[in-house]
Amino acid sequence: MIKLISCKKKNYKKKLKTFLEKRRLGRVKSNLIVSKILNDIKKNKIKALLKYEKRFSKNKNLIPTKKEINNAIKLLDPKIKKAIDFAYNRILKFHYNQKVKDILYIDKFNNKLEYKHVPIQSVGIYVPANLPSTLLMNAIPAKISGVKRVILANPKLNGKLNPAVLYAAKKIGIKEIYSMGGVQAIGSLAYIHKVNKIIGPGNIYVSQAKREIFGDVGVESMIAGPSEITVLADSKTDLNEVITSIIGQAEHDVNSQCILVTKDKNLIKNFNKGIIKNLQKLPRKNIAIKSLKNNGLVIEVHSEKQIVEIINEIAPEHLELNVENYRKYLNKIYNAGSICIGKYSPMAATDYNVGTNHVLPTHGSAKFSSGLNLYEFYKKISYIKLSKKGVEKIGKYATHLAEYEELKGHALSIKSRINKE
């Protein structure tokens, strides 16, 4: 069921590149329908939004009342409330430690230079389905950063509000909540609610929508979703740990990417047998099976060099180093959204309450971007106040460069401030 690439063959790099590009390029197919929906909402606003909500979700009510929210929360199992409380506290503590510091520099001429972190004023958070953990991961950093207006877009599940998401929203203090999903939700946040930035993971259509609205509003500095995992295992790795990590990611989405990298032939043989058996236990087995058929891969490697090169090329969202001597890889692997180290660090735990953020770069974007953090919610503004002596000293050399670059107006602007009484 799962494809195999052997690094014994000379063309293994080409095969891996083809495998990765097929999934990455697959997102382009959604362009036309995504563009159509976004343009319609941009032009026709709420009328278009309601049209697509009725068509795709059979939803006629976009704004749940306080009574509806409170009634939904009352239905939530107390143990889920406690689990959300526990996760909230850990995520809050870890992200609070990311708080940024402004910079103040004063030189010998009394020129004052400052670099300040200014919170973005409004953020729209997209939370797919009944995923309170995703709301916690996105909204807590926004609140710590000082974002004044936070809007939640969360589609109904089978026509019903999501009590766990609503409980998390209430705990965080989110006041604006809308029952909407998919591309139309992204369009609404951008063109109806006019937020400054949109964050939150989603399926291939949501991800494409965020790419298209970028420029009209901001989005995360990464491609978030569909999800991915790469597991590095050896002859001493527990087979069940490998299988459960892989199927745990495959059940997310039919477009999820799950890759096993190992030298051990016996592990590969037993993995293929065991995964079919374990899939039968999943309520979402049909999604997981399709995911593994389309985007599942086993890579048989033959050297540490190949392991490092391959993982850095994949640049996975999640990487599990479930091998005995994981330390030798830590300083060599530099492309990954998060790295779970050792047998007691399952990726699934990081999705909920470890404290690190689970909104991470996918589709190879871990080569140039990072997971969600406090910096996503700040603008960095430079403040410059030059003294009379300072502009005279700096201006002399600045005018030389301006004239060299044939920007006479720049030079005149600087000279107009020099030698003034």
DSSP 239-258: HHHHHHHHHHHHTT-TT-EE
User: Which two structure tokens, joined as six digits, stand for 299?
Assistant: 């890579």
Confidence at residue 421, expressed as pLDDT on a 0 to 100 scale: 55
Residue 419 has pLDDT above 80, yes or no: no
| pLDDT single digits (tens) 311-325 | 999 999 999 999 999
Q: Predicted confidence band at 193 (pLDDT cuts at 50, 70, 90)?
A: very high
Task: For the full predicted model, state whether its pTM sits above 0.75.
Answer: yes
CB half-sphere exposure, 9, CA atoms < 13 A: 11
Do the beta carbons of residue 165 and residue 177 sit within 8 Å? no
Confidence at residue 326, expressed as pLDDT on a 0 to 100 scale: 95
Do the beta carbons of residue 243 and residue 212 sit within 8 Å? no
Give long-range contacts, CB 8 A cutoff, 24+ apart: 91-94.
91/136, 91/137, 91/140, 91/353, 91/355, 91/357, 92/140, 92/144, 93/355, 94/355, 94/356
CATH superfamily of 28-221+374-379: Nitrogenase molybdenum iron protein domain (3.40.50.1980)
Do the beta carbons of residue 179 and residue 61 sit within 8 Å? yes
Please return the burial class of 262, using the count of CB atoms within 10 Å of its CB with bins 0-12, 13-18 and 19+: buried
Q: Predicted confidence band at 285 (pLDDT cuts at 50, 70, 90)?
A: very high
Picking from 285, 253, 238, 206, the residue whose alpha carbon sits closest to that of residue 37 is 206
CATH 3.40.50.1980 domain residues, the chain: 28-221+374-379, 227-367
Q: Predicted confidence band at 420 (pLDDT cuts at 50, 70, 90)?
A: low
Q: Predicted confidence band at 86 (pLDDT cuts at 50, 70, 90)?
A: very high
Please return the burial class of 10, using the count of CB atoms within 10 Å of its CB with bins 0-12, 13-18 and 19+: exposed
Residue 201 has pLDDT above 90, yes or no: no
Residues annotated as part of the active site: 317-318
How far is it, in rounded angstroms, from Cα 97 to Cα 120? 19
b/e 363-402 (16+ beta carbons within 10 angstroms → b): bbbbeebbbbbbebbbeeeeeeebeeebbbbbbeebbeeb
Q: Predicted confidence band at 1 (pLDDT cuts at 50, 70, 90)?
A: confident
Residue 207 has pLDDT above 90, yes or no: no
Between 208 and 171, name the one with better pLDDT.
Answer: 171
Strand pairing partners for 104? 114
Q: Predicted confidence band at 29 (pLDDT cuts at 50, 70, 90)?
A: low
Helix, strand or coil, per DSSP, at residue 203: coil
User: Which two structure tokens, joined as six digits, stand for 380?
Assistant: 């960095």
| pLDDT single digits (tens) 102-145 | 999 999 999 999 999 999 999 999 999 899 999 999 999 999 99
Confidence at residue 132, expressed as pLDDT on a 0 to 100 scale: 97
- Phi then psi for residue 178, to 5 deg, are -125, 135
How far is it, in rounded angstroms, from Cα 411 to Cα 169? 54
CATH superfamily of 227-367: Nitrogenase molybdenum iron protein domain (3.40.50.1980)
What's the whole-number mean pLDDT along residues 1-8?
91
Confidence at residue 103, expressed as pLDDT on a 0 to 100 scale: 97
CA separation (Å) from 278 to 210, 244, 264? 35, 8, 20
Confidence at residue 204, expressed as pLDDT on a 0 to 100 scale: 82
Residue 16 has pLDDT above 80, yes or no: yes
